[in-house]
């Protein structure tokens, strides 16, 4: 059985409560369950983790090497600021799909630049929480 890692960064534990007009009403648990059900149809296992701390995310990315087939990652605000997370992603061979619920290109200009995109396999933005499922579908199809 293959494994996929779902990582969520700062403030994503507040999904459903934080700015629902931007991020929707689904909770992080809802998102995790939707992705879990999807990957299980292909006999994969999903591990889901969230942290507001950069070092935790880096540790999980590094530990994914040889353990996971892919990473679905919503880095939150670290997208725009974290060279350390960029370096962690660049240091592993596990494909990472960067996901953002909102269309970051329709928001404040500081959100328009991703430090991580150049080292990710792909990026999905602005499709709501459906972006997580689309990332999972991509990773599952790449492994077939």
In the annotated binding site, the residues are 74, 80, 87, 101-102, 111
Interatomic CA distance for residues 123 and 96, integer angstroms: 9
Give the annotated binding-site residues for substrate: 74, 80, 87, 101-102, 111
- The answer to whether the CB of 51 falls within 8 A of the CB of 57 is yes
Which one, of 46, 102, 109, 51, lies nearest residue 75 by Cα?
A: 51
Which residues are annotated as catalytic?
Answer: 23, 100
Q: For residues 18 and 24, what is the distance between their CA atoms, to the nearest angstrom?
A: 9
Q: How much helix, strand and coil, in percent to the nearest 5, is found in the chain?
A: 45, 20, 35
* Local structure of 34: helix, strand or coil: helix
**Strand 44-50 and strand 96-100: pairing?**
unpaired
> 141 is written with which tokens?
């199809």
């Amino acid at each position: 059985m293959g494994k996929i890692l779902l990582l969520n960064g700062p403030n994503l534990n507040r999904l459903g409560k934080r700015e629902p007009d931007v991020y929707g009403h689904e909770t992080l648990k809802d998102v995790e369950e939707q992705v879990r059900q999807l990957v299980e149809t292909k006999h994969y296992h999903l591990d889901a983790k969230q942290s507001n701390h950069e070092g935790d995310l880096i540790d999980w990315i590094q530990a994914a090497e040889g353990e996971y087939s892919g990473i679905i990652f919503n880095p939150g605000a670290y997208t725009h600021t974290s060279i350390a997370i960029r370096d962690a992603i660049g240091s592993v061979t596990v494909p990472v799909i960067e996901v953002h619920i909102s269309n970051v290109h329709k928001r404040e200009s500081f959100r328009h630049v991703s430090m991580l995109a150049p080292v990710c396999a792909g990026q999905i933005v602005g499709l709501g929480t459906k972006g997580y499922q689309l990332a999972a579908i991509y990773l599952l199809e790449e492994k077939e």
